Amino acid sequence: MSLNTFNAEEADNLEDIERQFAVVAVEQAETYWNLLTKIKGSKLRLTKFDDDIYETFIKYFPEYQDVERVKNFKEDELKSKERKVKWREFCGEFEENVEDYNFGTLLRTNANDEYGQEGTIFVVRIQFYAFEIARNRAGLNDWICEKN
């Protein structure tokens, strides 16, 4: 659930709110993973704006047309100083349309791995969409469904 229903009157202390933030991120990851075990990633549509997100992603970061780079990337590619500036611009494009575009979200650095202690990083929702939409389109997540 988005935090829009958050009621300031009934809020506990700050610690609990921060924990809630992590809880939502984990729930989102679990829900997404469950989806991938039920339906092939290549057939999955995540939002109404998948096409927009993908096009903008490639426009800002043409290097990710290379399937291998979408499949497996380094945290630095998202979080180094220079890259961050570019990513911030990219994120701004979706401020209006995409729900929770700036929510903290877990993302696998390698499409061949499950969510785990290693290889899972913390990004914003729109970065998650960008990579996972690209991976799904390339069929990189189909193995999760076929495994069962």
Partner 1 sequence: MSAPNVSILSKNEKKSKDMLVKLGLKRVPGIIRVAYRKKNNEIIAIEKPEVYRTPGGNYVVFGEPKVDDFTQKLAAAQEQAQASGIVPSEADVATKSPADIQADMQAAADAIESGAGKVEEEDDGEVDAGDLSNDDIELVMQQANVAKNDAIKALKSHNGDIVNAIMSLSK
Q: Which residues bind partner 1 (CB under 8 A)?
A: 1-2, 24, 27-28, 31-32, 34-35, 38-39, 43-48, 97-100
**Of residues 68 and 99, the one with the C-beta less far from partner 1:** 99
- Residue (of 59, 74, 54) closest to 135 by Cα position: 54
**Of residues 54 and 67, the one with the C-beta less far from partner 1:** 54
75, 121 in Cβ contact below 8 A? yes
Residue 123 is given by DSSP the state: E
Cβ 27 to partner 1 shortest distance, Å = 6
Cβ 34 to partner 1 shortest distance, Å = 7
Cβ 46 to partner 1 shortest distance, Å = 6
Amino acid at 141: N
What the block records as the tokens of 129 is 């969409």
Per-residue CA distances from 127 to 39, 75, 93, 135 (Å): 22, 12, 12, 12
**Of residues 55 and 99, the one with the C-beta less far from partner 1:** 99
**Of residues 38 and 74, the one with the C-beta less far from partner 1:** 38
